[in-house]
Amino acid sequence: MSAETMVKTGTMVKVDLKTLISVTADTIAAHADELTALDQAIGDGDHGLNMKRGFEAVRAEAEGFAAKPLPEALKAIGTKLVMTVGGASGPLFGTLFMALGKEISAEPDRANLAMAFGKAIEAVAARGKSQVGQKTMLDVLQPVHEALLQGKTAAEIADVVDRAADATVPMKALRGRASFLGDRSIGHMDAGGRSVALLVRAVVESIEGHA
Amino acid sequence: MSNVGIVIVSHSPLVAEGTADMVRQMVGDEVPLAWCGGNGHGGLGTNVEAIIGAIDKAWSEAGVAILVDLGGAETNSEMAVEMIGEPRAHKIIVCNAPIVEGAVMAATEASGGASLREVVATAHELSPS
């Protein structure tokens, strides 16, 4: 996840992977009940618990991940998430990290990060057979990618993800369990999108705090 | 066994086991068969580790056809195939077919020594295109 170490425009901001694992696991744990409540409204109600289990499993092996080069670390974290999150979120969030690890360089610059993030989003879209506009995590990931390409600051990106998660509320779900509800999915925030927003915000705030 | 193997992946262990039971009773023991279901924590769902285990159990050099129920079962099965990787991955296909009918029809085809492609095509015929 130190992939996101480059979000601050211009200079390289070094944040160690252990810190990023810790702040992301913290935010998921702190919001697990909220994520579950969102998922109960239009899904099967296990998203918070599943994400928490996965990110705690990553936290438990933070030392080992942090010892690897960035690409290998991200791939290993993705695999761990696939195996521990479960549900449909496991492969989707796992694929995000695995694909990011596949594309990113060991010491990424902003351009490499933006490219790798774009490829990772494509991999998630392929895994979920989904696209932007269907009320999924892609609707929060895509604005992050655009913000990275536009050279937005960490604070701006934190703002972008919150607005993107809010923007899933009026959408009608076209993929996943929520799509079974049709129009009744309108008016609820997508739980996966909210998770992405929490993760990205935690990462960029951590980086800003260290800058 | 050189017949194509069948793997059944449902959100419910009861559905998966029941489907496997139908395959055994209606088709017999000529086909490698494995099932998995449930999220691994006592609830409904599917998980990649269990799917990889089922593929290993039903493995055949002729290949393995996977029958799934709802969306997450398909996503997790595709993830499992990717994680198994080559040289085996190209011999594992997730079928687009109703789980019970697909499993029985695919197993019937497989029991006669049909190729993976033929087994999968038989299952796919059950889906409205």
CATH number of the domain where residue A153 is located: 1.25.40.340
Mean pLDDT to the nearest integer, B92-118: 96
Mean pLDDT value across chain A: 90
Q: Do A86 and B71 touch (CB under 8 A)?
A: no
CB B104 within 8 A of CB B45: no
Separation CA A7–CA A109 (nearest Å): 9
Q: What is the pLDDT of residue A57?
A: 97
A163 residue type, one letter: R
CA dihedral A175, A51, A59, A13 (to 10 degrees): 50
- Interface-testing mutation among A36, A39, A46, A138, with chain B (most B C-beta atoms within 10 A): A46
Ordered structural domains, chain B, with CATH: 5-124 (3.40.50.510)
Burial label, A209 (beta-carbon count in 10 A; 0-12, 13-18, 19+): exposed
Chain B residues touching A91 at Cβ < 8 A:
48, 75-76, 78-79
Q: What's the residue count for chain B? A: 129
Total domain count, chain A:
1
> Which element (helix H / strand E) includes B33?
strand B33-37
Give the model's pLDDT for residue A210: 55
pLDDT for A9? 45
**How many Cβ pairs closer than 8 A exist between chain A and B?**
47
**Residue B1 above 50 pLDDT?**
yes
Task: Reduce the DSSP state of residue A188 to 3 states and report it.
Answer: coil
Name which of B41, B44, B75 is nearest A91 (Cβ-Cβ). B75
In this complex, the residue of B45, B70, B78 whose CB is nearest that of residue A86 is B45
Is the pLDDT at A13 greater than 60? The verdict is no
pLDDT one-digit tens code per residue, B38-96: 988 788 889 999 999 999 999 999 999 999 998 789 999 999 999 999 999 999 999 99
Bridge partners, B68 (sequence order): B9
Domain that holds residue A151: 2-210
Which amino acid makes up residue A37? A
What would the mean pLDDT of A171-183 be, rounded to a whole number? Answer: 86
> Does the N-terminal peptide bond of residue B87 adopt cis geometry, omega within 30 degrees of 0?
yes
**Local structure of residue A173 (DSSP, 8 states):** P
Lowest mean pLDDT among A5-19, A191-205, B19-33: A5-19
